[in-house]
């Protein structure tokens, strides 16, 4: 069943009332969540949202298999997919529900569990659907390695069944960032399409302020809690979360930060001054990046490599820790998994290649 009429939902997805208890997972400054959090549902999950990687035949087949299995084994559970996915698989998945794009706020209210099929990019897309509280997310890889993929698709039945039957989950709360955009007068910027002011923006990996298509370096005033720390002249600056420390920030020379550590990473991109090094800031800090008067053109703001906005001279962005983390379902030995990921993906603890095996060292 595909519901693409705005405001029309199945009975279990009816509009909320003030009497409903809050299901939001939040975090605050100084929260100790280095170990596993344990989630206990009072009732069996009623609604499961499945997010899949786009334009991938292998993931398409997995979606049909996983959604059909959930619907057959648990017919009382609502299976929700994105509108374009429901339209594409209307024949194979006639039982799924959708939430219209203009009602995205409903994702937070009605979803009890999110299942992602794909790579790390699929999880970043999932984060973009939830600007506030996020339900538990269980992620399945399709055979590729990734920092955010604790389960393989071959084990989806066992993993999902355990969550539903026990109503328990081991969670790692991955910190997210909140970003706001401001004009020179300090007021919130308005959207270019005339839809009103740009609301709070929530990202999982990083906010990237960069020169974009312009050839000149950008002048950026860097403030922490209202105090100027430097005026950076660089290709750009990255504000990353601990999860994003192994993404663009790492390529720009930033530190690797364990996802259980609350911190904000400020990493310059090709700075003119070699004394400007990456900085690790406390989670209660507020970072302000302001486009300087000497900049020769506007700067671009990219959020998790997707959404893009533009800032002119004296306009600025402000970043702080979001109260709404990404609660990722993990295995009991999540700490060991992170160490294994570092070794597998970044090739730590591997000896140098034997020169004898390299073709340009081999005699002809």
CA distances from 311 to 55, 103, 219, 249 (A): 32, 28, 12, 21
List 60, 112, 120, 235, catalytic entry:
120
Which run of H or of E encompasses 72? helix 57-73
Neighbours of 143 (CB within 10 A): 10
- Overall size of the chain counted in residues: 364
Cα distance between the two ends of the chain: 66
Q: Is 304 a catalytic residue?
A: no
- CA 158 – CA 329 distance, rounded (Å): 14
Tokens of 361: 């060292």
Can you count the helices (H) and strands (E) in the chain?
Answer: 7, 20
Query: Tokens 């060292």 label which residue?
Result: 361
Backbone angles phi, psi at 96, to 5 degrees: -80, 160
CA distances from 261 to 203, 244, 281, 285, 321 (A): 17, 12, 11, 14, 12
**Residues identified as active-site:** 120
């Amino acid at each position: 069943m595909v519901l693409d009429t705005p405001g029309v939902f199945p009975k279990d997805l009816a509009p909320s009332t003030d009497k409903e208890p809050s299901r939001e997972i939040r975090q605050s400054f100084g929260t100790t969540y280095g170990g596993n959090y344990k989630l206990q549902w009072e009732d069996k999950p009623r609604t499961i949202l499945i997010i899949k990687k786009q334009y991938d035949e292998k993931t398409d087949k997995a979606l049909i298999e996983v959604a059909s299995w959930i619907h057959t084994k648990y017919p009382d559970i609502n299976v929700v997919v994105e509108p374009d996915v429901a339209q594409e698989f209307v024949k194979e998945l006639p039982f799924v529900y959708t939430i219209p794009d203009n009602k995205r706020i409903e994702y937070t209210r009605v979803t009890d569990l999110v299942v992602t099929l794909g790579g790390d990019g699929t999880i970043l897309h999932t984060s973009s659907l939830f600007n506030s509280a996020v339900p538990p997310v269980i992620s399945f890889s399709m055979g590729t390695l990734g920092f955010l993929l604790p389960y393989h698709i071959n084990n989806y039945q066992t993993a999902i069944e355990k969550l539903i039957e026990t109503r328990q989950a081991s969670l790692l709360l991955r910190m997210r960032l909140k970003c706001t955009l401001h004009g020179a007068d300090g007021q919130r910027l308005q959207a270019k399409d005339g839809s009103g002011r740009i609301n709070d923006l929530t990202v999982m990996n990083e906010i990237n302020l960069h020169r974009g298509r312009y050839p000149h370096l950008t002048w950026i005033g860097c403030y922490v809690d209202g105090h100027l720390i430097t005026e950076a002249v660089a290709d750009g600056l990255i504000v990353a979360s601990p999860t994003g420390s192994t993404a663009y920030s790492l390529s720009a020379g930033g530190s690797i930060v364990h996802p259980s550590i609350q911190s904000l990473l400020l990493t310059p991109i090709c700075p003119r001054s070699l004394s400007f090094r990456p900085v690790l800031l406390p989670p209660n800090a507020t970072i302000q990046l302001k486009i300087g008067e000497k900049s020769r053109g506007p700067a671009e703001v990219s959020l998790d490599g997707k959404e893009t906005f533009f800032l002119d001279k004296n306009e600025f962005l402000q970043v702080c820790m979001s109260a709404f983390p990404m609660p990722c379902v993990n295995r009991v030995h999540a700490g060991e998994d992170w160490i294994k990921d570092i070794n597998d993906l970044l090739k730590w603890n591997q000896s140098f290649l034997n020169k004898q095996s390299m073709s340009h060292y081999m005699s002809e």
